[in-house]
């Protein structure tokens, strides 16, 4: 399950992705991002700082300043964002590639039935989530809007 913080990050990036697709894209203030995404401004400041430090967005100071997407939406990996915002995504610490830890109560990883079952589930999840980008999300939102008629 993703956290509320991750949902806010995704909503903000979808707004910035939509803006980047405009003929004359401009930097958006945090107030504008909050308004368009329906996200509380006080949470966005910290989240956007993390995303900026990861090199996904840029911030510009001044009267015409704000935030803008600096990577193409197709280069923004949702799994990397998940790890950045929420931390490891593996259901068990012994399945994590980047934050591996042996389970405290485990006597033999090779024969652990819990690990084996969750490894299969996690592998299927990884195949999907590792391929998902911001571009995919922007595209699926547009398709849903067309279907619904919004």
* 3-class secondary-structure state, position 67: strand
Burial readout 79-115 (b: 16 or more C-beta within 10 A, e: otherwise): bebbbbbeebbbbbebbbeeeeeeeeeeeeeeebeeb
* Domain total in the chain: 2
Query: What pLDDT score was predicted for residue 13?
Result: 97
Would you place residue 141 in the very low, low, confident or very high pLDDT band (cuts 50, 70, 90)? low
Q: Where residue 111 falls among pLDDT bands split at 50, 70, 90?
A: confident
How many angstroms separate the CA atoms of 95 and 115, rounded? 8
Would you state the pLDDT for residue 68?
96
| % of the chain surpassing 90 pLDDT | 65
Cα–Cα distances (Å) from 141 to 108, 124, 135, 145, 149, in that order, read: 45, 23, 10, 6, 12
Assign residue 18 the CATH number of its domain.
1.10.10.10
pLDDT of the residue at 7: 96
Is residue 106 included in any domain, yes or no? yes
pLDDT of residue 65: 84
Same domain (yes/no): 65, 3 = yes
pLDDT tens for each residue of 18-72: 999 999 989 999 999 999 999 999 989 999 999 999 999 999 988 878 999 999 9
Residues 19 and 32 in one domain: yes
Q: Enumerate the β-bridge partners of residue 77.
A: 133
């Amino acid at each position: 399950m993703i956290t509320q913080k991750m949902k806010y990050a995704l909503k903000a990036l979808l707004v910035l992705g939509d803006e980047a697709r405009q003929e004359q894209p401009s930097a958006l203030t945090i107030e504008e991002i909050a308004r368009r995404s329906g996200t509380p401004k006080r949470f966005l400041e910290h989240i956007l700082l993390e995303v900026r430090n990861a090199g996904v967005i840029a911030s510009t100071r001044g009267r015409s300043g704000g935030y803008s997407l600096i990577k193409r939406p197709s280069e923004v990996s949702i799994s990397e964002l998940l790890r950045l915002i929420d931390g490891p995504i593996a259901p068990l610490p012994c399945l994590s590639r980047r934050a591996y830890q042996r389970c405290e109560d485990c006597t033999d990883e090779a024969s652990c039935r819990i690990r084996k079952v969750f490894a299969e589930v996690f592998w299927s999840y990884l195949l999907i989530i590792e391929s998902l980008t911001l571009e995919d999300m922007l595209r699926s939102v547009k398709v849903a809007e067309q279907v619904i008629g919004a």
